[in-house]
Structure 1
């Protein structure tokens, strides 16, 4: 890993995206989301994704020149057509549309269709919280999870996030996916020749397995069993079905069919927290809330109780100060792309 100043990483990312055909404003939107992901330490969804995004563009799976359009169907409600653009670009427009509705009416929502992988949820939660807005944000995804009791993938590992602002301090941010673990952990176990817990995944027959190779050929287990299945289902109904995007098996896999539009859907629901509480009252209540949790005696003294997003925000502050840690190979590829 190499440390690079956030401003330099953002500028390099902008150059790489502009060299691939994005306009300056579009490149800036995408760079903001992906660099934030790296600042939070979510490197699997940061600038390392750019080569994958652009490889899909080369075979026609993504349109780097797409013009995202926003239709305001009601004062607080917007429909966003991503026109098969890069996911972080579509997500950025959807966040902005939901913010506009929330500023005007107190609560705003945007439903996006025609999108692609939009990175992690946390950058959008953070951007909303920084402006004083609470948020619920979600996306559907390529199918990797079987319905509870089934033996064929029908649901995506659909990410879902909540954010609550804390004026003058760090917000509380939760960004989760619907599986017990990510497939990356199963791939790592397979590479290391290690077994996995039977709660992580099933084989192709839908039977829980400790064999990582069988798991990679099978399906991820939803977190919380049937409850996780239900959450993944409802995220897809909001982000996919209601938005007019693809859903369930109607979503195209970017691994199996990189030349086809994914037609992913996203949902952004924003609440102007200042309409509910004055800034000082909100800050005090969030401080009290998190303080009650932090004061909980830990089961392991070496691991004190934390609130969601605390680790990622600590990464953010540290890397803002000391530089963003990015893998050498990812930086090399980014520089090559930036040079055209």
Structure 2
């Protein structure tokens, strides 16, 4: 049984902020990344949360990530801009890109922003939620380091390359989608490997191309695309649109976060922002979203299902719960964070044991 400790989100955020400031980042940028990582934990996407701090810190300290990037924005067409991430943390370039996409959409109805010379940008839903908060529909594409084969191949070529999207709701929960092109997010396999847990069959192959349930072997090997050829085709689209189109690395050239310390990643992203009232009034759009939500809730549930939810609603509820109980962190991640904090002279908050959480 995995031992958990629970940490208040604000204390965990403050700890992470100090860690990133210790790498030479500005206070403002460090706070953004800390909030984003804890946000992932709050929503239950623990694979993209604070467990990644040691890996990010290592890349910063190796000089593979620029702690103080000069993120540039250049308008290239009426509703289109390109962002140069200057090899900084992908979170910073991506928030700036979504801000630019929203600004362009406010003027033109739609905004499109490409990003190159970026790095891993964390949980894709961060940017869908950012657009929703501004009142805009969004789609987010990214490529990533090789994780899955091209359909018919046996070696990694395509990234897990998630797609995310958000649509504001009316009085009910918005639509929020964030999914990788793998059967399971590669970060979740990494987390299982860190815990020493097995993974189900059908998720990955080992380095020799054999099916495996060993998470450590799977992480070193090949993840499988969801839906077979369909997942592979979608991952190809993400690579073409995020990598080829934007001027970033593509076709297997994005450097691995974990195994390749030879040079910066040069990840590419693509952000779309769309005004929700292009074809009708905002009031009418919101009413239609509410009606859609209510129709979902009225659908007959399958056996064993107590409630049908809008995509993103389970994560929203989990966030509300974890804001009360604290963020659950496994013992091995607690150990990693404690060690990371000691390197910078920063104490990890004490947290509470499972028995102390009501």
TM-score, length basis structure 2: 0.85
Tell me what 1:221 maps to: 224
CA drift at 1:185: 4.0
8 Å contact kept, 1:132–1:167: no
Identify the residue that residue 350 of structure 2 maps to in structure 1.
none
Aligned residue pairs: how many? Answer: 338
Residue pair 1:47, 1:330 contacting (<8 A) in 2 also:
no
Determine the C-alpha separation between the residues in 1 that align with 2:17 and 2:199: 41
Once residues 194 and 12 of structure 2 are traced to their aligned partners in structure 1, the CA distance between those partners, rounded to angstroms, is: 33
Aligned residue runs from structure 1 range 82-161, under 5 A: 82-161=85-164
Structure 1's unaligned 5+ residue stretches are none
8 Å Cα contact 1:69-1:80 kept in structure 2: yes
The alignment yields a C-alpha RMSD, in angstroms, of 2.6
Q: Does the 8 A contact of 1:16 with 1:339 survive in 2? A: no
Query: Which residue is equivalent to 1:313?
Result: 316
Provide TM-score, normalisation by structure 1.
Answer: 0.89
Other-structure match for 1:52: 55
User: What residue is the counterpart of 2:353 in the other structure?
Assistant: none
Give the whole-Å Cα distance in 1 for the aligned partners of 2:79 and 2:328: 39
Pick aligned residue for 1:272 from 266, 270, 275: 275
Q: Which runs of 5+ in 2 are unaligned?
A: 347-358
Q: 1:301 to 1:99 in 2, by over 3 A?
A: same
Q: Offset of 1:61 from its aligned partner? A: 1.3
Out of 219, 224, 237, which is 1:234 matched to?
A: 237
Task: Give a deviation string over 1:206-227, Cα, whole Å, max 9, x none.
Answer: 56x3554775554222111111
For the 8 Å contact 2:207–2:217, the answer to whether it is kept is yes
State the 1:26 CA deviation.
Answer: 1.8
Partner SS, residue 252 of structure 2: helix
Correspondence for 1:332: 338
Q: Does the 8 Å contact 1:9/1:35 carry over to 2?
A: yes
Name the stretch that deviates more: 134-143 or 164-173. 164-173
**Which of 41, 48, 63 matches 1:38?**
41
Q: Would the alpha carbon gap of residues 295 and 111 (structure 1) be closer, same or farther in structure 2, given more than 3 Å must change?
A: same
Secondary structure of the 2:68 match is coil
Which of these residues, 159, 165, 168, is aligned with residue 168 of structure 2?
Answer: 165
Change (3 A) 1:65 1:187: closer
Q: Are 2:189 and 2:199, in contact at CA under 8 Å, matched by a contact in 1?
A: no
Deviation of 1:243 (Å): 0.9
State the 1:167 CA deviation: 3.5
